[in-house]
Amino acid sequence: MDSSDKQQSFELCLKEFLEIAHRAAILGLQAGTGGNISVRCGSTYLMKASGKSLYGLTEADVVVVDGDGKVIRGSGPATKEAGLHLNLYRV
């Protein structure tokens, strides 16, 4: 996969992540800033930044972490439950 394919794949993951976040917010699956979602995208994981609500989530509120939970894209720390999410992907 060349870099343009990887970018297109990432953009698709991000779009789907934001759509899922929006749907979860509409369904009332989150109260305040509690509750999290994540999406695996290749060898990286998209998660909402800590302290952000799913309602109105934007690209700026999404962080990308590697398999060790290190933020590699985005600002702010990943959700406090990042380790739990990563462990679930390993199962």
User: pLDDT band at residue 8, thresholds of 50, 70 and 90?
Assistant: confident
Rounded to a whole number of angstroms, the CA Rg of the chain reads 13
Tell me the percentage of the chain whose pLDDT exceeds 90: 67
Q: Average the pLDDT over 13-42 and give the result.
A: 90
Strands (E), the chain: 38-41, 44-48, 62-65, 71-73
Catalytic (active-site) positions: 81
pLDDT at 41 exceeding the cut of 90: yes
Helix spans in 27-73 (H): none
Give residue 1's pLDDT. Answer: 61
pLDDT at 6 exceeding the cut of 90: no
